[in-house]
Structure 1
């Protein structure tokens, strides 16, 4: 018999924008989406594979991401977090932290990405409005606890930055370089500080 501890140890945690597999192998289920024949997570949670029912027209298993119901995580300096940009100003962007590593947070934690923490080079040329937009999902590192209201976050590494963004047309944009994303519907490009995808 599986214990709760054994189930937790076997659980695979997923975050928005994370590649789950090929659309040729899986049907995109709850908490996922497909793009260019690949299935990605659309929310924070635990990955589940659901086998097709016998006699079903499509025999591929479904892949799902379901929200976690356990105690939430608390950000610590050095942690990699996923956050949603709430507001962008000239010298900083504020974001709501949604998960720490691959664990969802239960309480509200706010993070701040300062202009000097957006990227590692040409710091003085950073344009906050060309790096992030409200609604963007970013991957960032917690630098410190900051002030009483917010954690200081950094996206100054190649693998950190915007992982998911919506275009003006309402489509999930695709990264085309480290500083641009493109709308698949209109082919319009928008500037972003893009996280490098493995």
Structure 2
């Protein structure tokens, strides 16, 4: 499978293409490609049995497509663990490197990397790492925008997006941090968090991609 096809399968997965229909427009935005390119690739993936497509409704992964996407996410996240734990990368620096490495990593190298890392189950961004030939079933978690003022929350996972990760790094936010929600701005305004007497404001857009648990 070509790297381009792999990128499409992974993006469909990340956009929720296992439980809902993903639109061509979402793929155009997520992959930063033209509408014509999306239409052409969706047709190819449909013929190869990796997706199902209902005109004017959207696309979702078949079982075979989900298995391929899970294997790709596994490679990506294992490399992120390696880069952070062994090469000193910050968590917001590894996404683009892993994007390159995932496409050139063989099954055998993936097995050896997994063993070398002592079989990690989560990546630096809190995402699950499936075992070999295992379907990735990410735990459904609420996002920061789903909670109320004065809730105390723990950050469990964030979307693997470079712009978001750079933003969170600038605020010195990490997986496992615990915050109390002090205020929620009206009309999708910022969310004010507090920890150890220090306060910080999170944009509504970023908060939709921060997954949490109540403490």
The answer, yes or no, to whether TM exceeds 0.5 is no
Higher helix share: 2
TM-score, normalising length: structure 2: 0.29
TM-score, normalising length: structure 1: 0.30
Higher strand share: 1
